[in-house]
Protein backbone atom coordinates (compact mmCIF):
# COMPACT_ATOMS: atom_id res chain seq x y z
CA UNK A 1 0.00 0.00 0.00
CA UNK A 2 0.99 3.65 -0.47
CA UNK A 3 0.88 5.90 2.59
CA UNK A 4 1.07 9.70 2.55
CA UNK A 5 3.08 11.22 5.40
CA UNK A 6 4.87 14.56 5.77
CA UNK A 7 4.29 15.41 2.11
CA UNK A 8 5.97 12.18 0.98
CA UNK A 9 4.55 8.89 -0.26
CA UNK A 10 5.88 5.69 1.27
CA UNK A 11 5.46 2.16 0.00
CA UNK A 12 4.36 -0.01 2.94
CA UNK A 13 4.08 -3.81 2.96
CA UNK A 14 1.27 -4.94 5.23
CA UNK A 15 0.13 -8.35 6.34
CA UNK A 16 -1.45 -10.41 9.07
CA UNK A 17 -4.89 -10.17 10.68
CA UNK A 18 -6.65 -6.87 10.00
CA UNK A 19 -7.41 -6.57 13.73
CA UNK A 20 -4.02 -7.87 14.83
CA UNK A 21 -1.72 -6.15 17.28
CA UNK A 22 0.39 -3.72 15.20
CA UNK A 23 4.14 -4.04 14.71
CA UNK A 24 6.28 -1.63 12.68
CA UNK A 25 9.32 -3.13 10.91
CA UNK A 26 12.15 -0.80 9.82
CA UNK A 27 14.72 -2.07 7.31
CA UNK A 28 18.42 -1.29 6.96
CA UNK A 29 20.99 -0.37 4.29
CA UNK A 30 21.07 -1.17 1.41
CA UNK A 31 17.89 -3.18 1.57
CA UNK A 32 14.16 -2.43 1.67
CA UNK A 33 11.04 -3.70 3.38
CA UNK A 34 11.40 -7.04 1.60
CA UNK A 35 14.08 -8.03 4.09
CA UNK A 36 11.28 -8.95 6.51
CA UNK A 37 9.52 -11.36 4.13
CA UNK A 38 10.88 -14.50 5.79
CA UNK A 39 10.19 -13.15 9.30
CA UNK A 40 6.59 -11.98 9.01
CA UNK A 41 4.83 -15.36 8.50
CA UNK A 42 5.58 -16.32 12.11
CA UNK A 43 4.44 -12.90 13.29
CA UNK A 44 1.19 -13.20 11.33
CA UNK A 45 0.58 -16.68 12.72
CA UNK A 46 0.93 -15.20 16.21
CA UNK A 47 -1.79 -12.65 15.44
CA UNK A 48 0.34 -9.60 14.69
CA UNK A 49 -0.48 -7.08 11.96
CA UNK A 50 2.81 -6.07 10.28
CA UNK A 51 3.66 -2.75 8.65
CA UNK A 52 7.01 -2.61 6.82
CA UNK A 53 7.71 0.68 5.01
CA UNK A 54 10.35 1.42 2.43
CA UNK A 55 11.84 4.30 4.36
CA UNK A 56 12.90 7.78 3.25
CA UNK A 57 15.12 7.54 0.18
CA UNK A 58 14.04 3.96 -0.53
CA UNK A 59 10.47 4.77 -1.58
CA UNK A 60 10.75 6.47 -4.97
CA UNK A 61 8.22 9.14 -3.98
CA UNK A 62 9.88 9.82 -0.64
CA UNK A 63 13.31 10.79 -1.91
CA UNK A 64 14.26 14.41 -1.11
CA UNK A 65 17.54 15.67 -2.53
CA UNK A 66 19.20 17.54 0.35
CA UNK A 67 21.55 15.55 2.60
CA UNK A 68 20.12 17.33 5.65
CA UNK A 69 16.74 15.76 4.88
CA UNK A 70 18.17 12.41 6.00
CA UNK A 71 19.16 13.37 9.55
CA UNK A 72 18.03 11.03 12.30
CA UNK A 73 15.31 13.41 13.58
CA UNK A 74 13.77 13.44 10.09
CA UNK A 75 13.80 9.64 9.91
CA UNK A 76 12.18 9.38 13.33
CA UNK A 77 9.53 11.93 12.40
CA UNK A 78 8.74 9.82 9.31
CA UNK A 79 8.06 6.79 11.49
CA UNK A 80 5.82 8.78 13.82
CA UNK A 81 3.96 10.26 10.85
CA UNK A 82 3.46 6.78 9.40
CA UNK A 83 1.96 5.58 12.67
CA UNK A 84 -0.37 8.59 12.58
CA UNK A 85 -1.34 7.98 8.95
CA UNK A 86 -2.03 4.31 9.71
CA UNK A 87 -4.22 5.28 12.65
CA UNK A 88 -1.94 3.66 15.23
CA UNK A 89 -1.54 5.29 18.63
CA UNK A 90 1.29 2.87 19.38
CA UNK A 91 2.93 -0.27 18.00
CA UNK A 92 5.59 -2.82 18.74
CA UNK A 93 8.78 -1.75 16.99
CA UNK A 94 11.52 -3.72 15.23
CA UNK A 95 14.50 -2.27 13.37
CA UNK A 96 17.52 -3.80 11.65
CA UNK A 97 20.80 -2.01 10.83
CA UNK A 98 19.93 1.65 10.08
CA UNK A 99 16.34 0.77 10.90
CA UNK A 100 17.60 -0.12 14.38
CA UNK A 101 19.11 3.35 14.79
CA UNK A 102 15.77 4.90 13.86
CA UNK A 103 14.02 2.50 16.23
CA UNK A 104 16.34 3.34 19.15
CA UNK A 105 15.79 7.06 18.60
CA UNK A 106 12.02 6.66 18.21
CA UNK A 107 11.75 4.62 21.41
CA UNK A 108 13.90 7.11 23.31
CA UNK A 109 12.02 10.21 22.12
CA UNK A 110 8.48 8.90 21.86
CA UNK A 111 8.11 6.03 24.34
CA UNK A 112 4.35 6.53 24.39
CA UNK A 113 4.23 5.37 20.75
CA UNK A 114 6.35 2.23 21.31
CA UNK A 115 4.94 -0.82 23.12
CA UNK A 116 8.19 -2.78 22.91
CA UNK A 117 11.45 -2.50 20.99
CA UNK A 118 13.44 -5.23 19.26
CA UNK A 119 16.65 -3.80 17.82
CA UNK A 120 18.57 -6.05 15.44
CA UNK A 121 22.33 -5.94 14.76
CA UNK A 122 23.00 -2.28 15.61
CA UNK A 123 23.07 -1.35 19.31
CA UNK A 124 22.04 1.91 20.94
CA UNK A 125 23.98 4.84 19.39
CA UNK A 126 25.64 5.61 22.73
CA UNK A 127 26.95 2.05 22.85
CA UNK A 128 28.38 2.47 19.35
CA UNK A 129 29.98 5.76 20.34
CA UNK A 130 31.54 4.13 23.39
CA UNK A 131 32.95 1.26 21.33
CA UNK A 132 34.31 3.57 18.65
CA UNK A 133 36.11 5.58 21.32
CA UNK A 134 37.54 2.62 23.23
CA UNK A 135 37.71 -0.44 20.97
CA UNK A 136 40.26 -0.64 18.16
CA UNK A 137 38.42 -3.52 16.54
CA UNK A 138 35.18 -1.54 16.28
CA UNK A 139 37.03 1.35 14.67
CA UNK A 140 38.28 -1.04 12.00
CA UNK A 141 34.84 -2.59 11.53
CA UNK A 142 33.31 0.86 10.97
CA UNK A 143 36.00 2.15 8.59
CA UNK A 144 33.73 1.63 5.55
CA UNK A 145 31.61 4.58 6.67
CA UNK A 146 34.34 7.00 5.56
CA UNK A 147 33.82 5.89 1.96
CA UNK A 148 30.03 5.98 2.21
CA UNK A 149 30.16 9.62 3.34
CA UNK A 150 31.99 10.73 0.19
CA UNK A 151 29.46 12.03 -2.39
CA UNK A 152 30.07 10.69 -5.86
CA UNK A 153 33.02 8.50 -4.98
CA UNK A 154 30.95 6.02 -2.97
CA UNK A 155 28.39 5.69 -5.76
CA UNK A 156 31.13 5.18 -8.33
CA UNK A 157 32.86 2.49 -6.27
CA UNK A 158 29.68 0.61 -5.34
CA UNK A 159 28.04 0.71 -8.77
CA UNK A 160 31.07 0.09 -11.02
CA UNK A 161 31.13 -3.05 -13.18
CA UNK A 162 27.47 -3.95 -12.77
CA UNK A 163 27.52 -2.97 -9.08
CA UNK A 164 30.16 -5.57 -8.24
CA UNK A 165 31.15 -3.96 -4.93
CA UNK A 166 27.53 -3.49 -3.86
CA UNK A 167 26.76 -7.12 -4.68
CA UNK A 168 29.81 -8.23 -2.72
CA UNK A 169 28.60 -6.17 0.24
CA UNK A 170 25.28 -7.99 0.04
CA UNK A 171 26.85 -11.40 -0.50
CA UNK A 172 25.86 -12.66 2.92
CA UNK A 173 22.11 -12.26 2.39
CA UNK A 174 21.75 -15.47 0.40
CA UNK A 175 21.83 -16.66 -3.19
CA UNK A 176 22.26 -14.49 -6.30
CA UNK A 177 18.54 -13.87 -6.69
CA UNK A 178 18.33 -12.44 -3.18
CA UNK A 179 21.39 -10.26 -3.80
CA UNK A 180 19.77 -9.00 -7.01
CA UNK A 181 16.57 -8.26 -5.13
CA UNK A 182 18.38 -5.67 -3.02
CA UNK A 183 21.08 -4.50 -5.43
CA UNK A 184 18.88 -3.84 -8.47
CA UNK A 185 16.73 -1.11 -6.85
CA UNK A 186 19.91 0.66 -5.73
CA UNK A 187 20.90 1.02 -9.40
CA UNK A 188 17.87 3.19 -10.16
CA UNK A 189 18.71 6.88 -10.67
CA UNK A 190 19.13 8.63 -7.33
CA UNK A 191 18.37 5.58 -5.21
CA UNK A 192 21.86 4.78 -3.94
CA UNK A 193 22.65 8.43 -3.31
CA UNK A 194 19.49 8.74 -1.20
CA UNK A 195 20.39 5.61 0.77
CA UNK A 196 23.95 6.83 1.32
CA UNK A 197 22.63 10.20 2.47
CA UNK A 198 21.64 8.48 5.73
CA UNK A 199 25.38 8.13 6.40
CA UNK A 200 26.21 11.61 5.08
CA UNK A 201 23.64 13.28 7.29
CA UNK A 202 24.75 11.38 10.38
CA UNK A 203 26.33 13.57 13.04
CA UNK A 204 27.77 13.00 16.49
CA UNK A 205 25.27 15.50 17.84
CA UNK A 206 22.27 13.59 16.49
CA UNK A 207 23.65 10.28 17.75
CA UNK A 208 24.44 11.74 21.17
CA UNK A 209 20.91 13.12 21.36
CA UNK A 210 19.47 9.58 21.56
CA UNK A 211 18.88 9.12 25.26
CA UNK A 212 18.18 6.02 27.36
CA UNK A 213 15.33 3.77 26.28
CA UNK A 214 12.65 3.14 28.88
CA UNK A 215 10.41 0.69 27.00
CA UNK A 216 10.86 -3.11 27.27
CA UNK A 217 13.70 -3.92 24.87
CA UNK A 218 15.47 -6.85 23.25
CA UNK A 219 18.74 -6.38 21.41
CA UNK A 220 19.55 -9.15 18.92
CA UNK A 221 23.21 -9.51 17.93
CA UNK A 222 25.03 -12.15 15.89
CA UNK A 223 28.65 -12.96 16.66
CA UNK A 224 29.62 -13.21 12.97
CA UNK A 225 28.51 -9.64 12.30
CA UNK A 226 31.28 -8.00 10.31
CA UNK A 227 30.12 -4.47 11.19
CA UNK A 228 29.31 -4.69 14.91
CA UNK A 229 31.73 -6.17 17.41
CA UNK A 230 31.19 -7.58 20.88
CA UNK A 231 32.30 -4.40 22.68
CA UNK A 232 29.50 -2.38 21.11
CA UNK A 233 26.98 -5.18 21.61
CA UNK A 234 27.75 -5.60 25.30
CA UNK A 235 27.72 -1.83 25.91
CA UNK A 236 24.10 -1.70 24.80
CA UNK A 237 22.57 -2.72 28.13
CA UNK A 238 23.78 0.43 29.87
CA UNK A 239 21.51 2.51 27.66
CA UNK A 240 18.22 0.78 28.45
CA UNK A 241 16.41 1.51 31.70
CA UNK A 242 13.38 -0.61 30.81
CA UNK A 243 13.31 -4.41 31.01
CA UNK A 244 16.16 -5.62 28.80
CA UNK A 245 17.20 -8.83 27.07
CA UNK A 246 20.31 -9.55 25.03
CA UNK A 247 19.68 -12.25 22.42
CA UNK A 248 22.85 -13.74 20.91
CA UNK A 249 22.65 -15.66 17.63
CA UNK A 250 25.88 -17.67 17.30
CA UNK A 251 27.38 -18.20 13.87
CA UNK A 252 24.99 -15.77 12.12
CA UNK A 253 26.09 -12.86 9.92
CA UNK A 254 24.94 -9.24 9.96
CA UNK A 255 21.99 -10.07 7.68
CA UNK A 256 19.88 -11.61 10.44
CA UNK A 257 16.38 -11.16 8.92
CA UNK A 258 17.52 -12.94 5.73
CA UNK A 259 19.69 -15.68 7.19
CA UNK A 260 18.09 -16.40 10.57
CA UNK A 261 14.43 -15.41 10.22
CA UNK A 262 13.20 -18.17 12.51
CA UNK A 263 15.34 -17.32 15.56
CA UNK A 264 14.70 -13.62 14.96
CA UNK A 265 10.94 -14.13 14.86
CA UNK A 266 11.21 -16.11 18.10
CA UNK A 267 13.11 -13.24 19.76
CA UNK A 268 10.55 -10.71 18.52
CA UNK A 269 7.60 -12.78 19.75
CA UNK A 270 9.27 -13.41 23.10
CA UNK A 271 9.59 -9.66 23.53
CA UNK A 272 6.09 -8.85 22.29
CA UNK A 273 4.49 -11.50 24.48
CA UNK A 274 6.52 -10.86 27.63
CA UNK A 275 4.47 -9.81 30.67
CA UNK A 276 4.30 -6.04 30.96
Q: Give burial (CB, 10 Å; 0-12/13-18/19+) of 136.
A: exposed
Catalytic residue among 54, 78, 97, 258: 97
Task: Work out the number of other CB atoms within 10 angstroms of the CB of residue 257.
Answer: 27
Q: Give burial (CB, 10 Å; 0-12/13-18/19+) of 205.
A: exposed
Catalytic residue among 199, 206, 225, 258: 199
Clarify whether 199 is annotated catalytic: yes
Q: What are phi and psi of 253, to 5 degrees?
A: -85, -175
Under 8 Å CB-to-CB from 184, ≥6 apart: which residues? none
Clarify whether 130 is annotated catalytic: no
Give the number of C-alpha atoms closer than 13 A to the C-alpha of residue 258, restricted to the C-beta side.
Answer: 22
User: Per DSSP, what are the bridge partners of residue 111?
Assistant: none
Clarify whether 32 is annotated catalytic: no
Question: Catalytic site residues?
Answer: 97, 199, 254
Amino acid sequence: MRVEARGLTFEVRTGGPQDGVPILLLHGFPQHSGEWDAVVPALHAAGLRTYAPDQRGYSADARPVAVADYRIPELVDDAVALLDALGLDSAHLVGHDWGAIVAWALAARHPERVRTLTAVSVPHPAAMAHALATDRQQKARSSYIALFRQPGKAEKVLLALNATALRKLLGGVGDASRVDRYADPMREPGALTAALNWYRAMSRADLADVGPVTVPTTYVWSDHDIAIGRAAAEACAANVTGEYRFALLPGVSHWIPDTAPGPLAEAILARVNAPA
